[in-house]
Structure 1
């Protein structure tokens, strides 16, 4: 009897592992870190077809990793809770340590990020009110409005490139984009440095900031920190 119950425990745990065992589903979960979205929005962001996206979302919903709400004929998906985000963070951190092929793929995507001396969430939190730091959110303005690091200014990538000469040289720029595999902030930090502007990226972007308990600010004011 005891062995049967133990087997059932592991069977239930395996439901989560099975749900995560898909590159498409992992990509959809990463996209939902930004906030809720309908299927069409996820199709556009992921480049995955509508039928496949819908099927993968149902798999995630079956494992209670995402939840939904309905607005008329539209169904919106979101992460089921902050613990899902933390699980993704733990999975990514473990995989980056254990899988050399993943480290190679990340290097091919982001370049040598360590040379940029990324700022950790804890470091930024400790110096967030320092007037010698300028925090720049390089994501689209709609993402900034949804929630950003307190005190950050919105300067989307294309706009930043146009306004390079107006950025002060007597501060250190901390630039961030969405998540740990977003190429925008590392590329823009390199560009800023080429113009002799001290700059570093925020390690893991706003996703890791939230995963580690960082609060977000919206146009209505600050939001609560994640537990």
Structure 2
């Protein structure tokens, strides 16, 4: 192989990865699969796409070896192929934050109303959870909680939050978290809780960042909030 052929070939492979990340919906799918594996219908439901379009996007991601699959009967489940995929996605976020002022403006405009109090950092949440002076609230869908969650967190998916507020322990600050730093579920939960007079803030990032920092995590189905498990040790 000549040097020009090599350069053309290697840069084409790099471009294949870049192209896989070139669609907003494919980036959203990567963000979703960072929470755990999903079958096609579930990905379509979460992203607002048709099943056909979802399958097309997933095949592009699979063609770039960014996702892997397993079959369970007629269902095909997709997952991130390797932790490096999530690291690559985070690098893309960081580059966008550093080079595009619009990213900071969008974050400020959306989260500014929620974060009249600064969002909680991971280290602070760990300290306060160990002292048991906060309720750690996971507002993601149940299947994401079951796949993995912050140790001691209680599951109260956002669509159920308003009708189940009475189940939350009183007298402690609520720290809500969801999928990551740009996930809107925790922000919406905090807005609702504050309107009801409950002291609430959101975690600055989400479960994948907590897990990858080596902090305590668990997996399994949810207990009711009023029977919350022991908090993070």
1:64 aligns with 65
Q: How does 1:152-163 map to 2 (within 5 A)?
A: 152-163=153-164
In structure 2, the CA distance between the partners of 1:9 and 1:126, relative to structure 1 (3 Å rule), is farther
Q: Aligned-residue CA RMSD in angstroms?
A: 2.5
1:224 aligns with none
Deviations 1:30-49 (A, max 9, x none): 12122111212211111112
> Which one has more relative contact order, counting CA pairs under 8 Å at least 6 apart?
2
Query: Are 1:175 and 1:202, in contact at CA under 8 Å, matched by a contact in 2?
Result: yes
Q: CA deviation at 1:2?
A: 4.2
Number of matched pairs: 220
Task: Please give the secondary structure, in 2, of the residue aligned with 1:116.
Answer: coil
In structure 2, the CA distance between the partners of 1:50 and 1:155, relative to structure 1 (3 Å rule), is closer
Q: TM-score, normalised by structure 2?
A: 0.81
Q: TM-score, normalised by structure 1?
A: 0.83
Deviations 1:156-197 (A, max 9, x none): 334432344564553222111223332221222233334443
2:120 aligns with 119
Task: Please give the secondary structure, in 2, of the residue aligned with 1:102.
Answer: helix
Task: Please give the secondary structure, in 2, of the residue aligned with 1:68.
Answer: strand
Residues of 1 paired with 2:14 and 2:124: CA distance? 35
Q: Which runs of 5+ in 1 are unaligned?
A: 221-227
Shifted more, 193-202 versus 159-168: the winner is 159-168
Query: Are 2:129 and 2:135, in contact at CA under 8 Å, matched by a contact in 1?
Result: no
1:24 aligns with 25
In structure 2, the CA distance between the partners of 1:93 and 1:86, relative to structure 1 (3 Å rule), is same
Shifted more, 33-42 versus 60-69: the winner is 33-42
In structure 2, the CA distance between the partners of 1:190 and 1:176, relative to structure 1 (3 Å rule), is same
Q: Which runs of 5+ in 2 are unaligned?
A: 222-233
- 1:36 and 2:42 are equivalent in the alignment: no
Q: CA deviation at 1:19?
A: 0.9
